[in-house]
Amino acid sequence: MKQKLLLLLLICTGVSFTNAQGIFDDSIHTATTFGSVNSPGAEGVQNVIDQNSNTKYLDFNAFDGIGLEVDILGVATTAIAMEFVTANDAPERDPTNYEISGSNDGTNFTSIATGTIPCASTRFFSRTFSFTNTNSYTYYRVNFTGTCGASSINQIADIQLFESIGDSPVISCPANITVNNTTGQCDAVVNYNVTANDTEDGMLTPTVTSGLASGSSFPVGTTEVFMSITDSDNNTSSCSFTVTVVDNELPVAGCPANIMETAASFGDTTAVVNYALTPTDNCVLINPLTDFTPLTNINGKAYYLSDNTFTPADAFTDAIVQGGFVGTIRNGTDNTTITEAISKIGGTGDVLLGFSDTASEGSFIWHSGDVSTYDNWNSGEPNNAGNEDYTVIQSSGGWNDITNGSTYRYLLEVDYIPTQTAGLPSGADFPIGTTTNTFTITDLAGNAVMCSFDVTIDENLSVDENAFSNSIRLSPNPTKNVITINSVTNVSLNNIRILDLNGRTLQTISNIGQLADGKTVNISNLAAGIYFMQLEDSDNRIAVKRIVKR
């Protein structure tokens, strides 16, 4: 049986540590900064060795990492493991690499171990990293570099070095898992197996420290699962893997049936037609948008994250150009949904919202003009430090006021409508004849279907006028240069007018006479497209024919 280590029992919310006796003792040791460090007064370096995860060490100068040195007061120790605890918020600030060095004079340091730290969204998350070292030192330096997201800040809740932790348990996670969504749902049930055993304790049951348990419904997208196991000597080992649920289900177009209508009045060349699409999807419907990453669709409002950064004032202008507004958050559920959507696409750092008090200091209003009174300010915010007139949402979901002096990605909100690729929108004037309307319906995963239907408008004719219209023949149609008019009843025409789709007269021919031998009309001067030919006979009857110019 391996040697039992001295256990230190603390019952205190937020405390996280490996229960073996560590090298650093906050009561007698002083931590000093290493490298270029800029810490707030309450978030200094001593917090990192106090074994209280409610305090943290924060460095605004993440470019060279976040480092510390500890003088062990002449006591030579042999470190073979390091415990690392994530801080209370902002996962994008977590470091991604570490280097541990030792010294016996406080000046000349020898590198003992280097390694990577997998990023985790779980806060106050403790992990232990073991390494090989046989030399004893009276000074230790630990430096962390990199960030888990686009952040200029590093932070750590606690670290501890250990001389002896016995044999750590062995935990084995599966390889990354990828499955398709369950039909009709935006998730899938996923089962997995994680095993753990220990030299003395035998088989152990791992616990989920972040993510979802086996047999849970995993949402579409990628969920990171962290598993850990602690043996009877309080040695902890962890492993992680991802579960990716792929949405491969096509949207349902909800396409209307073909529509046939008659012009409202005699001589009308168009008719107003209203129609509606009713698309649905197992997840989220949203259109692709250049330079923006789609996030979600909430009650007919499509939300995107800009790929580029803008000052707040420029973002407000750009959102109008995009046909929308800098985003509105109307309630707590929407706040959570948007925060999670940003996290899923790897968005980190502060994201600009459409909430500002530029019009009247202290009176925040939404860019969209929405009357929502919901807010989620962090404690002490808004504080208007340095004339802060704009609002960002942070990875925690909390809000902070900011100035116009920096650039941010912004939340764009636009009304959701399917993308029309051909035809005319609902409520438009449709010309006599058949207009094909085509839409593309796309979901968040990029699955797309096409919707296509025809709108046919017939002329409004009396019986006599209908007989007159039916007696007229145009050929060839379509045509490139000329079109010939014939009549089976040899009618006599007074006038011919060529009209565009908006009813504007482009060409007029008068005093045509009888059509016994046909009448040729030259339309070579017209651009390719659809036109109308309006024919009036000697009895003032009118017929309208659709012609296609190639």
What does the alpha-carbon distance between residue 515 and residue 473 come to, in Å, rounded to a whole number?
Answer: 10
Cα angle for residues 373, 378, 384 (degrees, 5° grid): 85
Over residues 434-441, the mean pLDDT reads: 95
Whether the predicted pLDDT of 6 surpasses 70 = no
Asked which of 144-148, 345-349, 364-368 is least confident by mean pLDDT, the reply is 345-349
Q: For residues 346 and 355, is the Cβ–Cβ distance under 8 A?
A: no
**Can you give the pLDDT at residue 198?**
87
Domains of the chain: 31-162 (2.60.120.260), 170-246 (2.60.40.10), 259-282+418-458 (2.60.40), 292-415 (3.10.100.10), 463-549 (2.60.40.1930)
Whether the predicted pLDDT of 15 surpasses 60 = no
Q: For residues 451 and 438, is the Cβ–Cβ distance under 8 A?
A: yes
Q: How far apart are the first and last CA of the chain?
A: 92
Cα angle for residues 63, 65, 70 (degrees, 5° grid): 150
Whether the predicted pLDDT of 360 surpasses 80 = yes
* Count of C-beta atoms within a 10 Å radius of residue 487: 20
> Both tokens of residue 160?
């501890």
For the entire predicted model, the pTM comes to 0.65
With b for 16 or more beta-carbon neighbours within 10 A and e for fewer, the 285-307 pattern comes to bbbebeebbbbbbbeebbbbbbe
Dihedral angle over CA of 214, 219, 221, 226, nearest 10? -30
Q: For residues 206 and 221, is the Cβ–Cβ distance under 8 A?
A: no
What does the alpha-carbon distance between residue 128 and residue 119 come to, in Å, rounded to a whole number?
Answer: 14
Dihedral angle over CA of 315, 317, 321, 324, nearest 10? 70
Phi, psi dihedrals of residue 226, rounded to the nearest 5°: -110, 130
Per-residue confidence band for 514, with pLDDT thresholds at 50, 70 and 90:
confident
Between 418 and 462, whose confidence is greater?
418
**Can you give the pLDDT at residue 165?**
64
What does the alpha-carbon distance between residue 409 and residue 310 come to, in Å, rounded to a whole number?
Answer: 6
Q: For residues 264 and 459, is the Cβ–Cβ distance under 8 A?
A: no
Q: For residues 128 and 229, is the Cβ–Cβ distance under 8 A?
A: no
With b for 16 or more beta-carbon neighbours within 10 A and e for fewer, the 20-44 pattern comes to bebbbbbeebebebbbebebeeebb
Place of tokens 């888990």: 148
What does the alpha-carbon distance between residue 544 and residue 550 come to, in Å, rounded to a whole number?
Answer: 19
Q: For residues 411 and 248, is the Cβ–Cβ distance under 8 A?
A: no
Q: For residues 95 and 115, is the Cβ–Cβ distance under 8 A?
A: no
What does the alpha-carbon distance between residue 230 and residue 232 come to, in Å, rounded to a whole number?
Answer: 7
What does the alpha-carbon distance between residue 540 and residue 254 come to, in Å, rounded to a whole number?
Answer: 45
Mean pLDDT, rounded, of the chain: 90
DSSP assigned state of 265:
S
Whether the predicted pLDDT of 10 surpasses 60 = no
**Can you give the pLDDT at residue 129?**
86
Dihedral angle over CA of 107, 113, 117, 122, nearest 10? -80
Residue 382: asked if its preceding bond is cis (omega within 30°), the reply is yes
Residue 503, classified by CB atoms within 10 Å of its CB into exposed (0-12), middle (13-18) or buried (19+), is middle
> Both tokens of residue 42?
């309450």
Reported as a single tens digit per residue, the pLDDT across 265-303 is 877 889 999 999 999 999 999 999 999 999 999 999 999
Asked which of 14-18, 203-207, 397-401, 529-533 is least confident by mean pLDDT, the reply is 14-18
Reported as a single tens digit per residue, the pLDDT across 203-223 is 999 999 889 999 999 999 999
**Can you give the pLDDT at residue 20?**
55
